[in-house]
Structure 1
């Protein structure tokens, strides 16, 4: 019993580590621009009587977050002049992108949306690009800053900060716009980016290692491409492309062998059940007869705290039991909680039952999110952290969004109760794949000898 208590105390202590606590501030910096170029910007444009069709086109700004994998190799390999010597690889990119976000928001705050809507659009794209770049750099920093068993805790703190930023950039901006102006609100948000800038300057740069095995892979690929047989200028470009773009994918498949395909399949389907259900959640609550105030109070405010508790608990479980068992728990809970929604659809709902179901869903979602982030982090090689993690995060969301797009058709055709059973069933492949991968050796980041999955 004493040893068990000591183990739990050791697990709890991870949240007192400076780098873990610092993720709250970095998460805040990452979450702040997201709403400001999406839902909050749409609210501003609607308030300015901009047509709905034009507002709809502004949603394309968010594509930057889905295609960030295309410029992640640059962030992995390109040393920024001056900033690299002062701050190192990860912090230099973080500072550059944070400065770009602040300047972009400041620029938006000076524009009359009616007269210069195209300028708002250009700056919104710039902010989204800098924001996606910041995400890449922060993810790389988070993975390299601590060992994999602490990644769940890092994810929990990151989500906490991110959610706080969403509140500030959502409700906070609306309050400021109501009593002052939209321009004042965006100007204040630009100043708030100082949270991320000061944090980036204050933290220490993590180690960025390339092991001998990785160097050997790069040398073999360069040899196959004939890098040494072309002119020096072309050779340098070809070498960079080989090391930054091709090698991360070759290294991943070589390191994981036969398990590589199963790993990628798991990443693609793990959030499918949760995201398919999430698309129809608000319409479902409204069709049950709940008011918008009830939904806001329970799903947005109460649900916010349950998600934070879930991610915190998920991080704790990863420290205590390793990565794979909490990952399995998250997959099982994600499917089971969808069945609770099916029960809600086929019964006489009350505020109490709605609160209970949403609490269970957000709690399980938090556990799954922390576990999945820890798992994805454990799969990266620190020689290619930004590139490999950007690939994983894109793979994690794109298939799930595609399946989620059919959610409305299923709900309309078969009803909500059948839809939620369907959303639970599509979570089964994730459970099966986790069980398969638990039986095969997990090949973790080879540049960190402290890595342990379980």
Structure 2
């Protein structure tokens, strides 16, 4: 009996040791930053596709409208400036990361409001313009937040801080999905799209508050320790240094290919999920209750499991297991397509997909975070996440065409097949020992000076 009680006590202590870091100050700050990071892309993907479907825009146009988020795939081009270019007055007051964050957030709030007021059924060109502006500002905000998050998290708290950041990201996406649609819909508050988007834009505030609370990141200390350079050396360090440092690593090309296609099947499915739900005849209320509420809690569960999974399996196995689960979860939507308007199967499919997506995305982002050098955090993470965005934005753009040609059931089977090359590349990386190249030494050196 005593042995059983002792074993149970050890289990409880182990659980607390695993889950406790989620509540530490820096991971909490990462959560708040995630809210501000998560809402714009949800407005530009899930909520936007739902809006366009509701006003009668055809599936092919909706599929290629995802291309309006192209700035997310190109953000590595201007990320070096975020790393090195100082803003007058603001950088002196707040530091490199926070000065950029505060400026971009003011502009982002304004562009989100204008996007909501654009009336795509009447002025598709105006809508496209403000979508691109919003995507550019949101992508730039992500450059800053991703770098700042990595820099404020100690090495030991990186998995939990990344998971918390994904909690916040999904909370921001939930607000931009459920909240915006509920505010805009005639079945909800009936505010209309302009007011709904404008109020959702206030999600920039949690990130701003977190930045005030957490203070400067380690990048400011790294910059302060660098010797002054002339204009030529500054340009070489800013524009060439980050890419050269990464590409000189062993396995760099394989890593970049893996990042490009790992989540392609998941991205293709997500781009067409909302149009399928509309076509199957689900009401706004059903959409909010099942796809968003059930999906949100599924993501929370999946994200919460990510840090324990990483501790248990290690990075390579965790990437493989989560990738396989994401690939197989798409098949539940193929079943939904054959069942038609079925609340039960929509609930099963959404819950399964979102748990696996929350798990897989958090493991993936932790992997990317570990690849980013503190000297070039913004640029290198932007490069890696931009490549992932290419899969989501352009490689997944023909999803609407495949849905029309194959039908919904065939389309979802295809998204599972499309995920196989990413798993093959992961196996090659794993076999060659290129799964993780941690920046622990650089981080430890910077933290030692704290």
> Taking structure 1 as the reference length, what is the TM-score of the superposition?
0.78
Structure 2 distance, partners of 1:198, 1:314, is: 26
Structure 2 distance, partners of 1:179, 1:287, is: 22
Question: For 1:199, which of 194, 206, 210 is the aligned residue?
Answer: 210
- 2:376: which partner in 1? 384
Question: For 1:252, which of 221, 241, 246 is the aligned residue?
Answer: 246
- Determine helix, strand or coil for the equivalent of 1:158: helix
Structure 2 distance, partners of 1:57, 1:417, is: 21
Structure 2 distance, partners of 1:43, 1:338, is: 20
TM-superposed CA distance for 1:159, in Å, is 3.0
Structure 2 distance, partners of 1:448, 1:315, is: 20
- Specify every segment of 5 or more residues in structure 1 that has no aligned partner in the other structure, as ranges: 220-231
Contact 1:153 1:370 in 2 (8 A): no
Coordinate RMSD, CA, aligned: 4.4
Question: For 1:96, which of 92, 96, 103 is the aligned residue?
Answer: 103
1:265/1:4 CA distance change after superposition, 3 Å? farther
Matches within 5 A, 1:54-453: 62-102=69-109, 127-147=134-154, 150-173=157-180, 188-189=199-200, 193-208=204-219, 236-254=230-248, 256-257=249-250, 259-285=251-277, 290-291=282-283, 293-345=285-337, 350-439=342-431, 440-441=433-434, 442-445=436-439, 446-449=441-444
> Taking structure 2 as the reference length, what is the TM-score of the superposition?
0.78
Contact 1:8 1:320 in 2 (8 A): no
1:410/1:81 CA distance change after superposition, 3 Å? closer
TM-superposed CA distance for 1:11, in Å, is 1.5
- Specify every segment of 5 or more residues in structure 2 that has no aligned partner in the other structure, as ranges: 1-6
- Determine helix, strand or coil for the equivalent of 1:444: coil
- Determine helix, strand or coil for the equivalent of 2:385: helix
After superposition, what is the alpha-carbon deviation per residue over 1:348-383, rounded to whole angstroms, capped at 9, x for unaligned?
884323322221111111111000000001111111
Structure 1 distance, partners of 2:277, 2:130, is: 36
Matches within 5 A, 1:12-31: 12-31=19-38
Contact 1:271 1:397 in 2 (8 A): no
Structure 2 distance, partners of 1:427, 1:261, is: 19
Structure 2 distance, partners of 1:39, 1:311, is: 20
TM-superposed CA distance for 1:110, in Å, is 11
TM-superposed CA distance for 1:336, in Å, is 1.6
How many residues were matched structurally? 430
Contact 1:156 1:308 in 2 (8 A): no
- Determine helix, strand or coil for the equivalent of 1:280: helix
TM-superposed CA distance for 1:18, in Å, is 1.0
